[in-house]
Structures are given as C-alpha cells and as structure tokens.
Structure 1
Amino acid sequence: MVAGTTWFVCKAGTTRMTEISMKAAGIDTGKTWLDVATYPVSDKQKVPNNADGWQTLADWLERQGIGRVGIEASGGYERDVIAYLHRRGFEVVLLQPRQVRAFGLYKLRRAKNDQLDAALIAECAARSDARCHAPDSRLIAFGEWLLFIEQIEADIACLKTRRERFTDRRILEEIDRSIGELKSRCKAQLALLQAAVREHDDLARKLDLIESIDGIGIRTALTLVILMPELGRVDREEIAALTGVAPYDDQSGKREGERHIAGGRARVRRALFNAALPASQRWNETLVELYDRLTAKGKSHKAALIACVRKLIIFANTVVKRQTPWTKSAPQQNSCA
C-alpha cells in the first residue's frame, strides 16, 4: 500500500482509497527525551528535552517539510517544547492522552513503546482538526505561582489532619506553630500574586469583573483568570464542559440512566466548589434560591451544589463577555449563547 493512504470497506464489499496529504510529526514527551516520528512517511528522531534538543528538533522538522506537530499532554513536560515550536512557526496540535488511546484502539494497535507512540500521535495529528493556540506566557508563570499556593493549602490541610492523632501538648503546639506559619506564607503569596496579576490591565479588568459576582472572592477569581483563559470567548455549554460540571446523558434504547458530570479542569472545579458552598447558603441570592428550589424537589445536596457551581462559572463567563460587573438579577439566557 502506498504510504499515507487508508483503505475502507464499503457496503457493497468493494474498497476505496482515501489519500491523507497532511504531513505531520508526532512527539512522545518524556522528562528527559523527546521521541519523534513523522507521517505518512515514518521517519524517526530522538532528541533531549532541553533547549538544544528543541532547536535540533525544529531544524529537523523543517528539513522534513513538516508544518503540523502533534504532541501528547504529559503533565507539563510538553509546555516548553510547545512554546518553542510556536515561536518557530509550527502548527501544534495538543492531544489529550485519552484521545491518543482511543485512536490507538480505533487503529487496533496493541504494541506500545515510545517510537510507536510517537508514530501514533503523528497520524492522529494529521487527521485531527484540533489546534493548540500559543500559550500566554504570563498565565504560565502565574499558573505555577498559583500551584505553589495550592500546595501550601494542601500542607495546611494535611497538618490539620495529623493534629487529630495527637494529644501531647508539646506536639500540638509544634503543629499549631507550623500551621500558623503556613497560613501566613499562603496569605502573603496570595497578596503578591494578586499584585502581579493587577500589573496587567487586561487581567486586572477580568479579575475585577469576576470578583464582582456575589460569593466569589479573590482566591477563586485568581483561579478563574489564570486557569480559565477561555472565559468570555465561549458559550455557556462549553465553559461548563471545560470546568467539568456539564451533565452528560446516559441513555440507550429503553434505558434512561442518570446524567453525570465528567472531565474538566479539577483545579478550577475545586475552587468553584469552595466558593459555591457558602454562596448557595448565604452570599448569593440567586444561588440560594436555586439551591433551595432543587433540594425542595428532592435533589441531593451534591446535585444542587453542582448546579450552583455551573451557575457560578456561567455568571463569570457572562460578565467577562459583557465587560460589565455582576448585577443582582440573574443573567439572561441569551447573553451566554
């Protein structure tokens, strides 16, 4: 078979051939190395995952005539090479691991190693219509800063859990001192991050708009500004799905299953849950009414709270899209579409 062609079986039992003209490369990303393969002609390369390796890779791709590069999300190890390839003018397709696995199942691939994975990513990228926009370097730096704050918060929670195990006053005082120090550090880092974000007029404006919503404080607003750059650019269904609070149907034939949420950005969702809980009980009249109405109909606390989280992210999307602060009246349905 000619490289770059695919055979399909038609209803009548005949075959037809579809030509894949897009030349693409796939990168299997590791902490130390980048394994690269091209499609439809399977050329291979392996370079270190550092600045010298990225330059070698980009020069090699240019010689191969590659314009599109597919890369699998790998816990952050892919970020720097993506930024470099964007600067060199390549079209980058960022693929989620489940997309690559699903494509491998579709292709009936069972064998697995780094080079085979790179070839699979290359073919998947050649057939994909997804794109990866050049990342905002400001948000990358702020995202790491926010992660540091989240880790301090996790350390505080961990120490509080440990404290329940002890009765010795000396140990309890030591743990309390550590908790106090971490709380002070967290508060200071949060203030510094807020000040750094406000140095940029566009981000400061977005921060103020989101913080104007009743029930959203500066901690949640910073999370949305930094980790949800799509706010104001997508509709209400898309923003709910990105957050991971969009209900998905579970129906087949006569079976009518319950709808469930799935996927999305866990860090954003966690921040919104922390905001929605008090907001739905006291601080946001719209959410209080929504929560009471749903629970009165028999919905569980969790289901009602998820609905409140979905409302909060839709409200945030709306105020950013409108460029007007939050008002007490609920946003109109067509304002988010």
Structure 2
Amino acid sequence: MKPSEYNTDIAGLDIGKLHLDASLASGDEHQKFANKGNDFEDLLGWLRRHQVVRIGMEATGGYEHEVAVFLIEHGFEVIIHQPLEIKRFAQFMRIRAKNDKIDAKVIALATAAKKIVPMVYHADLSELSEMMTLYEHFSSLLAKAKTFSERLRLETTKAYNDAIKAELTKAKKDILVAILKKLRGHKYLNQRYELLKSLPGIGPLIAASLTIRMPELGTLAHGKAAALLGSAPLDRDSGTFKGKRTIFGGRARPRRHMYIAALSAMRMTKSHFKPFADRLKINGKPIKVIIIAVMRKLIEAANLVLQRQSPWVTTCHTLT
C-alpha cells in the first residue's frame, strides 16, 4: 500500500518529553509542537485543518497521557500503540531510517493500516489510573521486602525490614480505600464496578482494576475482551507443524489480577467455572492451561455483564 492510498483523516504523534511530532498518514505534512497543555491548541488547530479524526501514538511511560486525554476530550479517536508494534511495523515496511519526523510518519501509517479498538476515556479514570499504579507499586515493593526478609539474620536488620513491610501494608490499604471511595463517588464508574463484582472470583480490588484498566469492557465483540487482556491463545502453526498455543501481549496489569480471580473462581463450588475447569482437568489439560482458559471465560463474562447491564447471576447460563 502506497502512502497516498491511506486516508488523510489519520495522523501519528511521536511523543517526547518536551515536543510532539505530528505527521499525516497521507502526504508529507509534518509539524512539531510543544508537549505542554497550554500549547495543545496549536496541535488541535493543525489536526482540524487537515480534517484528522483518528490519531495514533506510542505508549511512552506517561508522556503521552496529557495529550491523549486532551485529544479525546476534543472528539478525536486515539489509539495507543505498544512500542514493539511500531518497531515491527517499521521493519515490515522496510523503513530503516529513524528520527522524530519519520517515527511520527510510521505511527500514522500503522494507525491507518489496521482498525484497532480506540482508547476509551472517562474524566475520572486519569486520577484513578495513577492511584492504581501507586497501589501496584506498593504491592511490588512489599513483595520484594517479604522475599528479602528471608535472607536476613540479624535482629536489627529484620526490625528495619519489618518496619518497612508494615508501612507498605498500611499504604496499600489506605490507597485502596481511597480508590474505592472515589469509584463509589461516581455513578457511571460505580455501576460498572458493582456489576464486575458480581462475577465469581472478582472482589473489590480486581473489580476496581478492571473498571480502571479496561474501560473498553462492555463495548467489545465476543472474543475481543480476551484478546485485549492477553488471555486468548494464539496459533503457532506452519504447514504440517502444529505448535503449542501461547498467550502474549495484552494488558499485563489487569491480567495479573485476572489470574488470581481465575484461581478463585475455579475453586468455587457454586461457580459456573468450576465444572468447566474440572472438565479440562479430566481431559488431561495442564494446570496453567486450565487457569488461562478460566481467565478467558471470566473476562468474556465481564464484557457480557457490562454489555447487558445485568449482574452475573442472571446471565451466567448464556455464556458460551
């Protein structure tokens, strides 16, 4: 496909700490802007002059967040690509040169080349996302402190480490309380949160994680929720060779929580998922394969209850 064959209503942004490089998928139009909220109006004017409606950008560890929110609030479709996706696309297109202008062009072409689920935005998710990230950071630090305590022998060093563990435990509890309070303070988010909590194995933390990290749930076609989470098995076949199905990609943070939810759901005697897991076990499936299969069913169930705006207890019998 030649660049001129791409729609002119699609653009790519290469995100830097200080600057944004914008390019259209079609033609050679390129412009550099400051990555500051006060200067986004210039970017907005440029995009509207070129009748852009869909914008792609890379996940950059947070530098993309402010401009992504700004563009969504002004009616644009925003696609957040993983850096590896753009790298592989450039290799496929045999684009070897690299600079900010070229990177913006590659992102624009990648965005135009494939229909991808756009980023879903809710004003309150921005703050909640940062709070959830902090909770996950505390969890990671606490896990490391617990592991490190096994190597300590002196009472003094144990005492210091125990004090850190106590502080992190309290901080985790406090931030989770704050997250849940904020969720419950907003009708739309709280409604989604309560529906997700109706699912087997999904408690307050995991329901909050899905509400914040997967706002697309409820809008996806069957099978797409598992793919977005990264729990859908992918083929690895070639000719007569049949490789093992594997999972990769997707959203790692909510996937870790869903792994825990699956473990819980497959043990619940009144759960739809326990007989499903038991059948897989009888058929000789490895335990990790069973857990991933339950994860896949569970995230599709989450998508279903949000689509139907009905708790799991009234819809579980229809899940296939």
TM-score where L is the length of structure 2 = 0.88
Higher mean displacement: 195-204 or 117-126: 117-126
SS of the aligned residue for 1:299 comes to coil
Gaps of 5+ in 2: none
Secondary structure of the residue aligned to 2:310 is coil
- Which one has the largest radius of gyration? 1
Q: Which one has a larger percent strand, Structure 1 or Structure 2?
A: 1
1:1-337 equivalence runs, <5 A: 6=2, 19-20=5-6, 22=8, 24-63=10-49, 66=52, 68-130=54-116, 132=118, 135-282=121-268, 285-327=271-313, 330-333=316-319
Task: Tell whether the 8 Å contact from 1:91 to 1:131 is kept in structure 2 after alignment.
Answer: no
In 2: Cα distance, 1:294 partner to 1:125 partner: 39
* Corresponding residue SS for 1:262: coil
RMSD over aligned Cα atoms: 2.7
Q: Tell me by how many angstroms 1:24 deviates.
A: 4.4
Higher deviation after alignment, 38-47 or 137-146: 38-47
Alpha-carbon distance change, 58 to 235 in structure 1, aligned in 2, over 3 angstroms: closer
SS at match of 1:110: coil
Contact 1:83 1:135 in 2 (8 A): yes
* C-alpha distance after superposition, 1:11-57 (max 9, x if no partner): xxxxxxx7556254432111222123345442433222112332333
Paired residues, what number?
320
Q: Distance between the aligned counterparts of 1:6 and 1:279, measured in 2? A: 49
Q: Is the 8 A contact 1:82 1:92 kept in 2?
A: yes
Give the secondary structure class of the aligned counterpart of 2:12.
Answer: strand
Secondary structure at 1:22 match in 2: coil
Q: Aligned with 1:142: secondary structure?
A: helix
Aligned to 1:28, what secondary structure does the other structure show?
strand
Gaps of 5+ in 1: 8-17
Task: Write the deviation string for residues 276-304 of structure 1: whole angstroms up to 9, x where unpaired.
Answer: 22332346533332333222222111111
Farther-moved stretch of structure 1 (139-148 vs 30-39): 30-39
Looking at structure 1, the residues matched to 9 and 198 of structure 2 have their Cα atoms a distance apart, in angstroms, of 48
TM-score (norm 1): 0.84
% same residue = 35
Which whole-Å deviations, capped at 9, do the CAs of 1:190-220 have from their partners, x for residues lacking one?
1121111011112222212211223211111
